[in-house]
Amino acid sequence: MNETLNDFITRRRLEVAINKLVTRSNLSITTIAFESGFSSSANFAKAVKQHFGHSPSQIRKGKSNSDSKIGKILSKYGKAFNPVDLYPYHLNQQNDKPQLAEVIMNVLLKTYPQQTICKLTSYGGYSPEALFKTWDKITAWGEGLGIEQSVQQRIALCYDNPAITPVEKCRYEATIAIDDKVKVNLPFEKSILPGGTYVVLYVKGDAQDVAKAQMGLFSRWLPDSGYEPDSFPMMERYLNDVRQDGFIELEIMLKLKTLVQADYHK
């Protein structure tokens, strides 16, 4: 994997922490540091600075510092990191207001039953070539079972934020719905999409539009929704073929659970 176990663990802890800095404004940097397994906010700040080249406060404010040192994310992983990219709706508020309003209006809550799926991992992360190769392979597998491509329910499990995680390190699984009696062999895996309440957001556009919608969902809609994400990755349900149409049409899906408010009077 071209990454030591220690580097992997450190990178994942930091990536989760940065996502919290962006989407959980109610949490202090110190709280996020402890929740992420660091012994102090000072140690957390040092680790963030070394990896991303920016301090936690700079990242939370969405400010890029030209004087910041090059972080490990660039020197080791070749990814240019800019905190501004984590706040797409803050870049140009005048132009983005209509987009944000449209995002909020398109949010729906839906209840889905449990579904058996076959999934296949993309071994090139979120790179387009790896994604197309993965989808072509699982689509052909489904057609071999008699599931025509036109009726295949194509849902991707997206585990990482490409604004934070190097593209080739992002974890992505292509899935199609199958009958629970179907036998599945490696490299394919049988799994379950859990039933329950999902927030669903329709998006049509390019990759940047999808990224804006995803960040808007987490940073703008979710905090006041009364829900929090369940322990399941964000999903993308594809409604077209971008290679044929030249644009992306999909539904962002996120499994929810009711936000439990702590009772501090007990």
| pLDDT tens for each residue of 116-173 | 999 999 999 999 999 999 999 999 999 999 999 999 999 999 999 999 999 999 999 9
Q: What is the mean pLDDT of the chain?
A: 88
pTM for the whole structure: 0.87
What single-letter amino acid sits at 77? Answer: Y
Residue whose tokens read 């962006």: 22
Given 25, 51, 86, the domain boundary residue is 86
38 shares its domain with 127: no
Average pLDDT of span 210-235:
88
126 shares its domain with 216: yes
Are the C-beta atoms of residues 194 and 253 closer than 8 Å to each other? no
User: Residue 234 and residue 173: Cα distance in Å, rounded?
Assistant: 11
In a domain? residue 91: no
Number of neighbours of residue 223 by Cβ within 10 angstroms: 15
Residue 265 has a pLDDT of 39
As beta bridge partners, residue 172 has: 158
What percent of the chain clears pLDDT 90, i.e. is strictly above it?
70
80 shares its domain with 114: no
Average pLDDT of span 175-190:
96
Number of neighbours of residue 243 by Cβ within 10 angstroms: 10
Confidence check: pLDDT of 257 > 80: yes
Show the domain range for 36: 5-86
User: Residue 58 and residue 219: Cα distance in Å, rounded?
Assistant: 17
In a domain? residue 144: yes
Confidence check: pLDDT of 22 > 70: yes
